[in-house]
Structure 1
Amino acid sequence: MIRDTSGQDVILDNRRPYRKWAGLGAAVLLVVALGWVVTSWRASASADAVVSKAALQLGTAEVADIARDINVQGRVVAANSPTLYSPAQGIVTYLIKAGDSVAKDQVIATVDSPSLTNQLKQEEANLARIQGESERQQIQAKRDALENRQAADLAKVDLEAADREMRRAELSWQKKVISQIDYEKAKDELARARLRAHQSAENARLAVEMASFETKNLKLQVQHQALLVADLQRQSDELNVRSPVEGLVGNLALNQKSAVGAHEALLTVVDLHSFEVEVLVPESYADDLGLKMPVAVKVNGREWQGEVAAISPEIQNSQVVARLRFKGDTPDKLRQNQRLTARILLENRNQVLAVPRGAFIDVDQGRSAFVLRGDKAVRVPITLGAIGSRQAEVVDGLKAGDTIITSDTSRFKNQNTLLITQ
């Protein structure tokens, strides 16, 4: 009897071909992955360090106009804050308080000075006295002139009478009706009459000159005294202290009703239309600064144009103090000591190769940069020129279109090639 072989039969699974293809695909993926690992290993082996692209800041070299400038911090100061002084010794009375707004020529304080008031009255009395003397002298001069003219006229009449007597004496002498003594006497009378007439005329002329001199001298005295009175009147008017500008009252130097000496400070007034910005510039830029250099002052998010108005001749704490003045319109609502930022334009460079300014410049003073080449960044030597607040000029080492790492590369200071991963 033949035995049944059903126990040796094996049931075949129809899905086995699919498992074959799945295994083949897994093997292919394994080979690809292994190739990628090998490639990556080789790439990383040829680089000094590996860094993620997301951790970097990149910039592209391009031809552009560069403004070589510096950003500085500053504070608002009053360009015109006059201090008012007492014109004389006295008692001060303030008509305002610190911080009050005042108009130009507004009376803001008064000084009561009895001594100045008394002196003014005395000099006014002296002026009236000298004016009276001048008027009296003019009247006296007219009287003297009249008397001198009368004396001259009488002397002239006496001269005519003596001349007539002389002619009569000559006729009588020719006819021998008078003695020689009487004839000589007539001649003497004529000579005396001529002398008196001449002296009377000269006295009248000198009297006129003397009167003119005295009148002129008294007029000068009147003018001198009038100037003295005018000056004292001016000082008296200045006892009403007026604001020279429109602005705000600063500090009051004294208390109300305090005794004050002549030329002692009373208060300050801040001109609201004349503000400047005082900035501190690093010593390294001191030689580059110049008067009238253009500046941009940032106030409440807006830039206002101005210029460098003054530069301190000395350096303190490695900084130079400079004053910036607004040009044209001035920002509203500026306050003393308000903090502002400003940008001073040192130089303009047109159509030069430039890269964005970044922290890489500070690593080695901008002598090298990492240039992207594919998935790698290679360090190349470069030469920088003008450096602005936003861009830096590239003199040598790069070309337009090159992409460089602009972020801080100090951690790669000793590496020359970087592998950039996504």
Structure 2
Amino acid sequence: MAIVDQASVKPVKSKKQKSQGRIALIVLAVLVVAIGIAYQTLLSGDGGYVLSDYDTAFVTQQDLVLTEQASGTVQLPNQIIVTSPDDAYSGALYVTLGDTVSKGQLLAEIDVDDLEEDIEDYEAELIVAQVDREQVILEYENSLEDSAFEIKTIKRDIADLEEDEATYIKLVQINNARESELEDIQDELETKREELETAERELKQNKAMYVINLKEAEALINQKQLSLTRARNELEDTRIKSPMDGDILEISDEMSVSGSTLDSGDELFTIADPTSALFDLSISEEYADDIALGDSVSVTVGSLKVIGTITSIGRVAETSDDGLGATVSVDVTPNEYNSSLLLGSTAIGVFTLGVKENALTLPRGSYLTTGAQKYVYVIEGNRAVKTTVTFGEIEGNTVQVLTGLKAGDKIITSGYQNFISYDEIKLSGE
């Protein structure tokens, strides 16, 4: 059996009692509204609107700096893409993404088929070509000695025959020798002279052939040396080195997996100089004529604020991202290097377009929208008068007033939604 605490038991209400309770609540709410209306009427006396809680501000005269925002990204224009020098296979990788590297630093090694064997072949062929050249020189020197000896011998024979000829001429003249003997000597002398001419001609030809053969031998050596040098350079090129100081922005998937196939020209690494960072911003085309090279620009990247200088203004307008207008590309270079600027980060730049001197201004507030941006309530004593105004530029929290107000006017800056239909309202707080 359950024990019931009678003190905690609430009496059950009938449907009629519940209905009567709801009616009582409705009546109470109506009475509250009626009392509020009566109170408002009592305060206004003539049925006008009375405002007790509101914000105010004075119209001031000051120089208004006009600015325009433009969005974009951080770019690193000084980039180099390192490519594969040949068809190869990926090998050892010595860096990781984001590493800072210096010019000439070894990044990776790749393997090229038969390259080392080719180098050995070229080295052997070069040795053979060098030996052939030495042989050409040696053969020429030997032939030169032989020719010199032959010519010397012939010249000696000619000298002897010339002496004999002179002797026999005298002997024939005194009839101590026959004419035929003299003729034999002269015939032999003529033969020797012909032999000398032939030997000298052959020597000249041998010298000419030696020059040709030597050039051919040296050309072959140069060819083999060039092939060897190229092969060695190709082998050195398989040691992939950084062409600049910078950061590793990209590493190809193939380089990350040893043994992957690489084609000549495949991109292996992207390296960028972080000190070349700039902001690539897109400003509305209508403001392009209001900025100039050398202008200072305040740029925000996340929580970082950077001051930069305009270094380039595009000459071609492009359709904006939303497709509703056109923009011009503007490059802004930071005045100081900042390592926190990362490629692709969103950047917001604030451009100074000009200054409106002695402009009438008000602080920005909800009165702008609730007043349809053409009405304000000017406070005059304990009342506020609805006044037609013309607004100009809006810069941050400052609004330019073109017409309808003067410096020193005090206006209501809180929302007008409850009394915008009134030309004049009363102020209970004044």
What TM-score, normalized to structure 2?
0.64
Deviation per CA, 1:17-66: give whole Å up to 9, x if none: xxxxxxxxxxxxxxxxxxxx9xxxxxx9xxxxxx99x77877655679x7
Looking at structure 1, the residues matched to 330 and 342 of structure 2 have their Cα atoms a distance apart, in angstroms, of 16
Show the counterpart of 2:188. Answer: 189
SS in structure 2 at match of 1:114 = coil
> Residues 21-420 of structure 1 correspond to what in structure 2 (within 5 A)?
70-96=68-94, 98-104=96-102, 105-244=104-243, 245-254=245-254, 255-257=256-258, 258-285=260-287, 295-299=297-301, 300-309=303-312, 311=314, 313=316, 315-316=318-319, 317=321, 318-320=325-327, 322=329, 324=331, 326=333, 329-344=336-351
CA change 1:100–1:382 in 2 (3 A) is: closer
Partner amino acid, structure 1, of 2:310: E
* Structure 1 residue 249, shift from structure 2 partner: 4.7
User: 1:148, 1:200 within 8 Å by CA — same for their partners in 2?
Assistant: yes
Looking at structure 2, the residues matched to 306 and 284 of structure 1 have their Cα atoms a distance apart, in angstroms, of 20
The answer for unaligned runs of 5 or more in structure 2 is 1-43, 418-422
CA change 1:313–1:192 in 2 (3 A) is: farther
User: 1:378, 1:418 within 8 Å by CA — same for their partners in 2?
Assistant: no
Looking at structure 2, the residues matched to 222 and 252 of structure 1 have their Cα atoms a distance apart, in angstroms, of 40
- Output the aligned Cα RMSD: 5.0
User: 2:84, 2:264 within 8 Å by CA — same for their partners in 1?
Assistant: yes
SS in structure 2 at match of 1:336 = coil
Deviation per CA, 1:139-167: give whole Å up to 9, x if none: 22221222222222222222222322222
Looking at structure 2, the residues matched to 177 and 289 of structure 1 have their Cα atoms a distance apart, in angstroms, of 124
* Structure 1 residue 98, shift from structure 2 partner: 4.5
SS in structure 2 at match of 1:277 = strand
CA change 1:319–1:131 in 2 (3 A) is: farther
With 291-300 and 93-102 compared, the bigger mean Cα shift is at: 291-300
Deviation per CA, 1:342-371: give whole Å up to 9, x if none: 2456x778x966677999xx99xxxx999x
With 305-314 and 133-142 compared, the bigger mean Cα shift is at: 305-314
* Structure 1 residue 221, shift from structure 2 partner: 2.3
CA change 1:163–1:94 in 2 (3 A) is: same
With 282-291 and 245-254 compared, the bigger mean Cα shift is at: 282-291
SS in structure 2 at match of 1:330 = coil
User: 1:312, 1:320 within 8 Å by CA — same for their partners in 2?
Assistant: no
* Structure 1 residue 92, shift from structure 2 partner: 0.9
User: 1:308, 1:325 within 8 Å by CA — same for their partners in 2?
Assistant: yes
Deviation per CA, 1:1-32: give whole Å up to 9, x if none: xxxxxxxxxxxxxxxxxxxxxxxxxxxxxxxx
Paired-residue identity, %: 15
CA change 1:336–1:84 in 2 (3 A) is: same
Partner amino acid, structure 1, of 2:114: S
Partner amino acid, structure 2, of 1:159: I
CA change 1:184–1:337 in 2 (3 A) is: same
Looking at structure 2, the residues matched to 227 and 210 of structure 1 have their Cα atoms a distance apart, in angstroms, of 25
Looking at structure 2, the residues matched to 358 and 188 of structure 1 have their Cα atoms a distance apart, in angstroms, of 132
> Residues 12-23 of structure 1 correspond to what in structure 2 (within 5 A)?
none
User: 1:85, 1:266 within 8 Å by CA — same for their partners in 2?
Assistant: yes
SS in structure 2 at match of 1:82 = strand
Deviation per CA, 1:80-104: give whole Å up to 9, x if none: 3433222233321242464251422
Looking at structure 1, the residues matched to 114 and 193 of structure 2 have their Cα atoms a distance apart, in angstroms, of 63
SS in structure 2 at match of 1:93 = strand
Partner amino acid, structure 1, of 2:152: D
> How many pairs align?
365
With 226-235 and 190-199 compared, the bigger mean Cα shift is at: 190-199
Looking at structure 1, the residues matched to 87 and 233 of structure 2 have their Cα atoms a distance apart, in angstroms, of 15
SS in structure 1 at match of 2:82 = strand
Looking at structure 2, the residues matched to 209 and 404 of structure 1 have their Cα atoms a distance apart, in angstroms, of 111
Partner amino acid, structure 1, of 2:71: Q
User: 2:57, 2:362 within 8 Å by CA — same for their partners in 1?
Assistant: no
Looking at structure 2, the residues matched to 115 and 226 of structure 1 have their Cα atoms a distance apart, in angstroms, of 18
User: 1:295, 1:308 within 8 Å by CA — same for their partners in 2?
Assistant: no
User: 1:356, 1:392 within 8 Å by CA — same for their partners in 2?
Assistant: yes
* Structure 1 residue 256, shift from structure 2 partner: 1.2
The answer for unaligned runs of 5 or more in structure 1 is 1-36, 38-43, 45-50, 412-416
Deviation per CA, 1:363-417: give whole Å up to 9, x if none: 9xxxx999x9999898799999xx99999999x999x989999x9xxx9xxxxx9
* Structure 1 residue 108, shift from structure 2 partner: 2.5
Looking at structure 2, the residues matched to 78 and 145 of structure 1 have their Cα atoms a distance apart, in angstroms, of 70
* Structure 1 residue 289, shift from structure 2 partner: 7.1
Partner amino acid, structure 2, of 1:279: L
User: 1:86, 1:266 within 8 Å by CA — same for their partners in 2?
Assistant: yes
Deviation per CA, 1:74-126: give whole Å up to 9, x if none: 21233234332222333212424642514223322221223222222222222
Partner amino acid, structure 2, of 1:196: E
CA change 1:55–1:382 in 2 (3 A) is: closer
User: 1:304, 1:331 within 8 Å by CA — same for their partners in 2?
Assistant: no
SS in structure 1 at match of 2:70 = strand
